[in-house]
Amino acid sequence: MSLRSLFKPEVTRRTVLTAGQVVPDPVRCVQCGICSYNCPINIDVRRHAWLGEVIVDSHCLTCGECVSRCPRGVLRFERSDVFKDKGS
Amino acid sequence: MTQFLIIGSGVAGISAAEAIRSQDTQSPITIISDDRHGFYSRPGLAYFLTGEIPQDQLFNYSPQAYKALNTKFIRGRVTRIRSSDHMVEVENGKYPFCYDILLIATGSFALKPEVPGIAFDGVVKLDHLEDAIRIIALAKKAKKAIIVGGGITALELAEGLVANRVKVHYLLRGDRYWGNVLDENESRIIERRLKEHRITIQYQAELSEITGKAGRVTGVRLASGDTIPCDIVAVAIGIKPKLELAKASGIATDRGILTDEYLQTSVDAVYSAGDVAQAIDSLSGKNVLDTLWAPAREQGWTAGLNMVGVKTPYVKSPSFNVTRLAGLTTTIIGQVGGGRDSDVFGIARGDSETWRDIPDAIAAQTGFEVNRLRLMIGEEHIVGAVVMGDQTLSYPIQYIVAKRVDISSIRSALLAPGADISEVLVNFWTIFSRQVAHSLSSEIS
């Protein structure tokens, strides 16, 4: 987790779509699977949370279903380093 | 080759098997459990009850993951450990099983109140998948349920039953909800939200009897003499570690199985982890119980490493749990103080004893009703916090508490009357995280 990114202003929808990725905080996760169940393209988000891995699946739509439905705040969007961080 | 044996297929047992496998790809690992469903997300039962996930979704381990674990699963109940022979007896000696290194991860079970009528059909708890299946089946025909108990599980039962269109009447022995962890305002926020969901709360209500007819629940009688008709009585008054096996086998126990910092029990080559273990907390030097998923997983992993010969002390992180209380995401970190909860006997599921330590700290509070923050502020550190609603602040607080970040520069600002503690904390964190990021990047370069 990038410490610097924690208090950036809310990323815009467009930024999320282009440069966002879903990052789990495994210590919060109880493996209920609401995330995987609601993923429209069947990414096993829960397995990523178990392994503490960022969801880097290129098919991820960053639609936010998993992020918003998780009852324990395990998942959130962070800026990926796909694009260089410009001046922030 | 070492013969590893794990008793219990919960998260502690699976995590131990993963740790062993991470170091040793050859030695046989066997897990013995009497849970016919094996490994699944027990905290997820709450969301199965509300209908947010189907039953199949509770099983988080895929066939590929099982293949990689390369572990043999045996269904059965271990009835005795003969540690001098390095052997366990399954089903009263019918099947002896040898081991070189053993882990006891038998977990805990839900207590039931000792009142007449407790054995009636219609009295339920939320311990296993079987319980959740039973509750959903009963709810189809039930009109009204009584909830008895405190903590997280009682609310999960209440919310699950409401989602299944059962009218819920919640009995609290005390004056407020979860009094040993939440402060009064927090309790009231939760209670108000429960009432908005048409849940009736009755305070200072002590169950004295469950009434029934032809073996089925028909209602409850309270100590006051009042009677309330109902079809379901759901109880969540606390849990107890499953200790009998260890006790009968001469392993040192207190309220749980006592372990040293390497999670080894009093007996050589026998380890313990998860709800059943009373592991040492290096911070306080006391052996404490945790009934949380994350410490169980962490303990399982650490025990597994020690079992395979990678000497690793268990360092208990500040107790941390995120849960959903009456639809409100709530994070509880570190020590938050509080006394006794008259609704829970001992420890509740999803609970940590360290929360209840009364810290040498002063509380600072802020926020609206559903976005509430309480910080327990010590001399130089934030020792605990409760974050309700918006969770943005819980991530930095998690870090500040766990890493014991020095907050003395903002201590007086946090404690000033009328202070906006969220803002003080955000400003502090913005500067602090920049410094940390800077020092990290200087270290790398």
Tens of pLDDT along B203-244? 999 999 999 999 999 999 999 999 999 999 999 999 999 999
Tell me which residue in B47, B320, B437 faces A3 most closely, judged by beta carbons. Answer: B437
Beta bridge partners of B209: B221
pLDDT of residue B438: 74
pLDDT, tens only, B337-358: 766 666 666 666 666 766 666 6
**B180 contacts B340 by C-beta, under 8 angstroms:** yes
Confidence of residue A2 (pLDDT cuts 50, 70, 90): very low
**Sign of the four-CA dihedral A37, A42, A47, A52:** negative
Rounded CA separation B120/B210 (Å):
8
Please count the residue pairs, one from chain A and one from chain B, whose beta carbons lie less than 8 angstroms apart.
Answer: 82
CATH assignment of A22-78, among 3.40.190.10, 3.40.50.720, 3.30.70.20, 3.40.50.2300: 3.30.70.20
Contacts with B389 (C-beta within 8 Å, 6 or more apart), sequence order: B328, B329, B367, B368, B370, B371, B372
- How much is the average pLDDT of B374-381? 89
Domain ranges of chain A: 22-78
Residue of A nearest to B298 (CA): A27
pLDDT, tens only, A17-69: 667 899 999 999 999 999 999 999 999 999 999 999 999 888 899 899 999 99
pLDDT, tens only, B383-424: 889 999 888 888 899 999 989 999 999 999 998 888 888 889
Confidence of residue A3 (pLDDT cuts 50, 70, 90): very low
Q: B206: closest CA among B238, B180, B228, B231?
A: B228
pLDDT, tens only, B316-336: 888 888 999 998 989 999 888
pLDDT reading at B253 higher than 60: yes
Beta bridge partners of B387: B331, B373
Mean pLDDT for chain B overall? 91
Lowest-confidence pick of A42-46, B134-138, B182-186: B182-186
Contacts with B176 (C-beta within 8 Å, 6 or more apart), sequence order: B182, B184, B187, B188, B191, B203
Tell me which residue in B41, B395, B434 faces A32 most closely, judged by beta carbons. Answer: B41
Confidence of residue B302 (pLDDT cuts 50, 70, 90): very high
- How much is the average pLDDT of B67-80? 94
Residues of A with CB under 8 A from a CB of B: 1-4, 6-7, 25, 27-28, 30-34, 36-37, 44, 46-47, 50, 69, 71-74
**B118 contacts B353 by C-beta, under 8 angstroms:** no
pLDDT of residue A80: 75
Rounded CA separation B307/B262 (Å):
9
pLDDT of residue B95: 79
ipTM of the complex: 0.89
Rounded CA separation B398/B332 (Å):
9
pLDDT reading at B441 higher than 50: yes
Type of residue found at B414: L
Q: B73: closest CA among B33, B132, B133, B41?
A: B33
Rounded CA separation A84/B23 (Å):
37
Contacts with B282 (C-beta within 8 Å, 6 or more apart), sequence order: B261, B313, B315, B316
* Domains of chain B from N-terminus onward: 4-108+240-307 (3.50.50.60), 112-237 (3.50.50.60), 320-444 (3.30.390.30)
The reply to whether residue B57 touches residue A36, judged by beta carbons under 8 angstroms, is yes
